[in-house]
Amino acid sequence: MKLANKVVIVTGASKGIGKEIALLLAKNKAKVIVNYANSEAEANETVSTIITNGGQAFAIKADVSKRKEVTFLFDKTIEIYGKIDVLVNNAGVMNSKKLKDNTEEDFDTHFNVNVKGLFNTFQEAESKLADNGSIINISSSTVKLMLPTYAIYSATKAAVEQMTRVFSKEIGRGISVNALAPGPTETTLFLKGKSPEFIKTLSAMNAFNRLAKPIDIARVVLFLASDESQWISGQVIGANGAMV
């Protein structure tokens, strides 16, 4: 599953799952664009790690919720590498609160990044992604779990999954479009504010009695970005250890 000569944009790639995806795809010879919105130091560190390991990478700042910045992200990538073969829509926000405690700002932030961000990258990919390319959208297994405090976040990811299905039939040109729905994963974003007891409860909900590690998710992205997965499109693939 080598990605030699493929150019990949990974949004939100400065840390967490996005960083692990960028590192693994670069290890498999992809030329990687490490996109970030705020974490410049971490993005540059990710790029530095890739280059130190013999890979090719470049960091580009762009807020996916802002169309002009997404246009810049795509155009700059083509300027640097000449094309775009794979788009990994990983950028996202998550703030778990009971529905009654969410503010209008909380709602807008979630939908602007998680859903409008996808809308913006899809519109750019329509004409700028290379033929026979791949789009991989990071969803979440919370869509199926009905976990309290995840109503807004889960709603955005449900939108991601439905947009994935529809766009897979619209874009054409041999481009596959899939969503990947991880279960609970050991990232700073996910672990923040959660008690050891809650983590233990979540771990016991899958067949392997542990949380996923970012590399578990990155390996599935590697497959979906490779030519071997070409016939898979319009699907939501769960990576949650039989949690749901």
**Nearest of 43, 63, 39, 61 to residue 51 by alpha carbon:** 43
Provide the terminal-to-terminal Cα distance of the chain, rounded to the nearest Å. 27
Q: Is there a contact between 128 and 84 (Cβ–Cβ < 8 Å)?
A: yes
Distance separating alpha carbons of residues 167 and 157, to the nearest angstrom: 15
153 is catalytic: yes
Distance separating alpha carbons of residues 62 and 44, to the nearest angstrom: 14
| Catalytic-role residue among 36, 81, 150, 153 | 153
Rounded to the nearest angstrom, the gap between the alpha carbon of residue 182 and the centroid of all alpha carbons in its chain is 10
Q: Is there a contact between 84 and 74 (Cβ–Cβ < 8 Å)?
A: yes
Q: Is there a contact between 172 and 127 (Cβ–Cβ < 8 Å)?
A: no
Q: Is there a contact between 22 and 10 (Cβ–Cβ < 8 Å)?
A: yes
- Active-site residue list: 153
